[in-house]
């Protein structure tokens, strides 16, 4: 760790990454980008103190760390106090010279809860640089999820544990094998590509290996080689999963059954719950997933199946065979009443969810072929139809379509992409008129053509290297395109270094108002309601308050201006006594803007005068980029969901406010506006 590397510079910026990639920040995170560049300016001889916030969460998930320098995180409001202690300790040990002491806090910890500690440390004149990463609200963090095919069914990549059995492709026998997962590692944030074949798509990084067919020319035996995504091109054949073979019937876990006399249970239609899965049961579930619902409190299982629909007859028959309950029927619906059946279905995960969140539970992937077929049959009966050889399943739940598509891919079907459609109220969709405008998706699938392998063996073998293989097939690459930077995880699989995954990244967040939240912005604690339209108060002028402490260097920086940021960090580190930097950090998940727009928004904030770039050196303010003809505020606000509720008048009010703040700064420009005490 201690070896000194030559300090290579690219366009004046240190090439060394001391805030390493591989941290778990969101794509397009302004804060992570700021830290990366702040660390480039800081260099190795730096001690970092971070306040609680997104950054310590994404950069230090034990036992990993993204920090190439000594780093300490303690609590939300005390980064400046911790820095005070370190400054004193280093001075005491006569090690203070040559070390940059950097305290980092978000806007919540700098403007609000930690303001006292910041003010105290500034007043005491500690030698440290405080960087406030300002994303204008209290933000939380993200989670990763990606679906992996394991012995126990489909699992999120974050749920796969070392030792789990994962499906893999055996390169010698060309068979589907189960292999032990020997490790999971965080691959960091990388450029991710989407590779498309006719029936599959997968997201992967450029160095991710794919198994491809290498053609050796006519008359010669083709072979399989691993190639990285970067080496692949359109037309190459890759190996894709066709079928994961036949599994075992699923043994259901025992659930807590209701008994007669339980609270609120006045009638119990006793039934025998199945212990293991069967084709009939899976077909019943298929129909349920399409058209069913449960009201647990009433012990009701309902189906939206109108009279005359084929699924209705089939459902009644299956139910009779499985449970023998007495149905209640009306023109549009079928109801069964059984508290325990309702509880049973609810316990199976994924089935009993609101229409848009329904999904195929992981265990379905482990079933025998006939049970999976029955399940798809049930789903087709309720939510599908056939045109010619092609079958189509329609749903408002894209999660359901995604998981169904993966299920079909394990069953030997040729499966198309998920298509999105919007339909107006009244149009027919799967034989029924829509009650309101809606967006839904569909996925098409069909059976593989039969090939006469016996007769044309060698001919087909050349066309399709894996002809006759039960589990895998070759597919031609149709396109490879970059889809941006995303966090990635990878698994290590014993023996076979491959596994079967799709790759989807989702996120969630919380956004609460801070003292730094701009006027009229919508946050979860200053919601844009009918009566109050977001945050009422203006943003606290923290840089000016900090400058009033009499410190020698205060500056604003933006990720849209890297060189300016570098210069200012150098000045801050060189300043006598404390120095303060406020960095403007767009937050895609908190500002509700597109992940690709972080730098653009930061630039627009400068160009619209929302976030002017200036520095206050020895009490004198100067602009680094004077905005003579500002862009209209709307250019900036329209890109962000947090401002979408604003009326023209409100935007005009904001514009006025922005103008007034800029004019104030212009008024003190070049003058000794702040006394210097340190």
Applying CB under 8 A, the span of 62-70, 379-387, 570-578, 581-589 interacting with another protein comes to 62-70
Full 3-state SS string of 183-205:
EEEEEEEEEEEEEEECCCEEEEE
Nearest CA among 85, 4, 102 for reference residue 583:
102
Please state the closest distance from residue 505 (CB atom) to another protein, in A. Answer: 18
Q: Two tokens at 414? A: 């040729």
**Does 163 engage in binding with another protein (CB under 8 A)?**
no
Cis peptide before 63 (omega within 30 of 0): yes
Near another protein in 292-321, by CB under 8 A: none
Positive/negative CA dihedral, 319, 299, 342, 397? positive
Nearest CA among 363, 360, 447 for reference residue 406:
360
**Does 354 engage in binding with another protein (CB under 8 A)?**
no
Please state the closest distance from residue 509 (CB atom) to another protein, in A. Answer: 16
Q: What are phi and psi of 316, to 5 degrees?
A: -60, -40
Among 9, 15, 88, 664, binds another protein (CB under 8 A): 88
Q: Around Cβ 175, how many Cβ atoms within 10 Å? A: 14
**Does 2 engage in binding with another protein (CB under 8 A)?**
yes
Cα–Cα distances (Å) from 468 to 412, 483, 500, in that order, read: 12, 34, 20
Please state the closest distance from residue 64 (CB atom) to another protein, in A. Answer: 8
Among 71, 336, 365, 553, binds another protein (CB under 8 A): 71
Applying CB under 8 A, the span of 85-93, 275-283, 301-309, 358-366 interacting with another protein comes to 85-93
Q: Two tokens at 246? A: 């036949």
**Does 67 engage in binding with another protein (CB under 8 A)?**
yes
Please state the closest distance from residue 54 (CB atom) to another protein, in A. Answer: 11
Give the helix ranges, DSSP H, for 450-597.
457-463, 542-547, 562-574, 588-591
- Maximum C-alpha span of the chain: 94
**Does 232 engage in binding with another protein (CB under 8 A)?**
no
Tell me whether residue 59 or residue 409 sits nearer to another protein (CB atom).
59
Please state the closest distance from residue 161 (CB atom) to another protein, in A. Answer: 9
**Does 31 engage in binding with another protein (CB under 8 A)?**
no
Applying CB under 8 A, the span of 26-34, 90-98, 320-328, 523-531 interacting with another protein comes to 90-98
The backbone region for 619, taken as left when phi is positive above 0, alpha when psi lies in -120 to 50, beta otherwise, is left
Among 7, 15, 45, 618, binds another protein (CB under 8 A): 45
* Residues 111-150: x where in contact with another protein by CB under 8 A, - otherwise, as a string: -----xx-xxx-xx--------------------------
**Does 526 engage in binding with another protein (CB under 8 A)?**
no
Tell me whether residue 70 or residue 163 sits nearer to another protein (CB atom).
70
Tell me whether residue 35 or residue 238 sits nearer to another protein (CB atom).
35
**Does 57 engage in binding with another protein (CB under 8 A)?**
yes
**Does 222 engage in binding with another protein (CB under 8 A)?**
no
**Does 3 engage in binding with another protein (CB under 8 A)?**
no
Long-range contacts formed by 418-422: CB under 8 A, 24+ apart = 418/442, 418/443, 419/443, 419/444
Please state the closest distance from residue 122 (CB atom) to another protein, in A. Answer: 10
Please state the closest distance from residue 469 (CB atom) to another protein, in A. Answer: 38
Among 27, 32, 86, 621, binds another protein (CB under 8 A): 86
Please state the closest distance from residue 507 (CB atom) to another protein, in A. Answer: 17
Radius of gyration of the chain (CA): 30
3-class secondary structure, 26: coil
3-class secondary structure, 536: coil
Please state the closest distance from residue 118 (CB atom) to another protein, in A. Answer: 10
Please state the closest distance from residue 99 (CB atom) to another protein, in A. Answer: 6
- Beta-bridge partner residues of 180: 165
Tell me whether residue 140 or residue 347 sits nearer to another protein (CB atom).
140
Nearest CA among 91, 167, 86 for reference residue 129:
86
- Count of residues in contact with another protein, rule CB under 8 A: 46
**Residue 184: partners with Cβ closer than 8 Å, 6 or more residues away:** 157, 160, 161, 162, 489, 490, 491, 492
CA 35-37-43 angle, to 5 degrees, is 95
**Does 60 engage in binding with another protein (CB under 8 A)?**
yes
**Does 92 engage in binding with another protein (CB under 8 A)?**
yes
3-class secondary structure, 623: strand
Mutual angle of helices 279-291 and 369-383, in 10-degree steps: 30
How far is it, in rounded angstroms, from Cα 196 to Cα 482? 11
Q: Around Cβ 45, how many Cβ atoms within 10 Å? A: 12
Inter-residue contact 490 to 188 (CB < 8 Å): no
**Does 49 engage in binding with another protein (CB under 8 A)?**
yes
**Does 540 engage in binding with another protein (CB under 8 A)?**
no
Nearest CA among 87, 107, 103 for reference residue 95:
87
Tell me whether residue 61 or residue 667 sits nearer to another protein (CB atom).
61
**Does 90 engage in binding with another protein (CB under 8 A)?**
yes
Applying CB under 8 A, the span of 79-87, 146-154, 212-220, 665-673 interacting with another protein comes to 79-87
Q: Around Cβ 207, how many Cβ atoms within 10 Å? A: 11
Among 14, 30, 40, 46, binds another protein (CB under 8 A): 46
Residue ranges binding another protein (CB under 8 A): 1-2, 44-47, 49, 56-57, 60-63, 65, 67-75, 77-78, 80-86, 88-93, 99, 116-117, 119-121, 123-124
């Amino acid at each position: 760790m201690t070896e000194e590397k030559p300090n290579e510079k690219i366009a004046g910026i240190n090439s060394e990454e001391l805030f390493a990639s591989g941290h778990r920040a969101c794509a397009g995170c302004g804060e992570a980008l700021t830290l990366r560049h702040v660390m480039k300016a800081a260099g190795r001889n730096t001690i970092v103190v971070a306040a609680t916030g997104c950054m310590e969460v994404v950069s230090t998930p034990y036992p990993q760390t993204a920090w190439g320098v000594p780093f300490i995180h303690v609590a939300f409001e005390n980064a400046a106090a911790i820095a005070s202690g370190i400054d004193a300790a280093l001075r005491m040990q006569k090690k203070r010279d040559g070390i940059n002491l950097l305290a980092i806090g978000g806007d919540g910890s700098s403007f609000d809860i930690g303001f006292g500690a910041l003010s105290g440390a500034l007043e005491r004149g500690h030698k440290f640089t405080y960087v406030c990463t300002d994303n204008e609200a209290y933000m939380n963090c993200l989670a990763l999820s990606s679906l992996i095919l394991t012995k126990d069914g489909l699992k999120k990549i974050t749920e796969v544990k070392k030792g789990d059995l994962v499906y893999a492709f055996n390169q010698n026998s060309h068979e589907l094998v189960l292999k032990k997962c020997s490790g999971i590692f965080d691959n960091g944030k990388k450029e991710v590509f989407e590779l498309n074949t006719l029936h599959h798509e997968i997201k992967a990084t450029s160095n991710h290996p794919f198994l491809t067919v290498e053609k050796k020319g006519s008359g010669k035996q083709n072979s399989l080689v691993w190639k990285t995504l970067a080496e692949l091109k359109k037309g190459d054949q890759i190996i894709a999963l066709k079928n994961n073979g036949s599994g075992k019937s699923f043994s259901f876990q025992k659930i807590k059954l209701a008994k007669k006399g339980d609270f609120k249970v006045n009638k119990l239609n006793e039934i025998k719950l199945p212990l293991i899965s069967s084709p009939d049961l899976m077909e019943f579930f298929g129909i349920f997933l399409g058209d069913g619902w449960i009201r647990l409190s009433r012990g009701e299982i309902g189906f939206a199946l109108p009279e005359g629909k084929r699924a209705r007859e089939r459902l009644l028959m299956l139910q009779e065979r499985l449970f023998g309950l007495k149905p209640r029927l009306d023109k549009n619906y079928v109801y069964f009443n059984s508290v325990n059946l309702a509880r049973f279905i609810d316990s199976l995960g994924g089935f009993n969810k609101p229409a848009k969140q329904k999904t195929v539970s992981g265990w379905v992937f482990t079933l025998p072929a006939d049970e999976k077929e029955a399940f798809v049959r049930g789903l087709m009966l309720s939510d599908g139809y056939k045109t010619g050889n092609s079958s189509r399943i329609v749903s408002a739940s894209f999660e359901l379509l995604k998981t169904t598509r993966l299920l079909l891919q394990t069953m030997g079907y040729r499966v198309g992409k998920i298509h999105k459609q919007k339909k107006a109220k009244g149009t027919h969709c799967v034989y029924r008129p829509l009650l309101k405008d809606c967006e839904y998706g569909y996925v098409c699938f069909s059976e593989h053509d039969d090939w006469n392998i016996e007769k044309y063996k060698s001919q087909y073998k050349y066309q399709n290297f894996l002809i006759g293989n039960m589990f895998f097939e070759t597919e031609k690459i149709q396109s490879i395109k970059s889809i941006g930077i995303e966090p990635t995880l990878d698994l290590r699989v014993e023996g076979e270094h491959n596994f079967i995954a799709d790759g989807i990244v989702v996120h969630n967040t919380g956004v609460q108002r801070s003292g730094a939240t701009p006027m009229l912005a919508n946050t979860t604690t200053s919601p844009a309601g009918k009566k109050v339209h977001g945050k009422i108060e203006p943003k606290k002028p923290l840089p000016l308050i900090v400058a009033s402490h009499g410190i020698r260097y205060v500056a604003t920086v933006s990720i849209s201006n890297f060189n300016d940021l570098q210069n200012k960090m150098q000045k801050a580190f060189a300043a006598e006594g404390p120095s303060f930097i406020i960095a403007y950090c767009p937050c895609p998940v908190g500002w509700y803007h597109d992940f690709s727009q972080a730098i653009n928004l930061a630039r627009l904030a400068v160009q619209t005068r929302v976030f002017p770039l200036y520095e206050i050196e020895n009490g004198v303010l100067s602009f680094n980029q004077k905005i003579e003809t500002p862009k209209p505020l709307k250019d900036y606000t329209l890109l962000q969901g947090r401002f979408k509720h604003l009326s023209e008048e409100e935007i005009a009010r904001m514009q006025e406010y922005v103008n007034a703040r800029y004019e104030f700064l212009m008024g003190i420009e070049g003058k000794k506006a702040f006394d210097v005490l340190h």
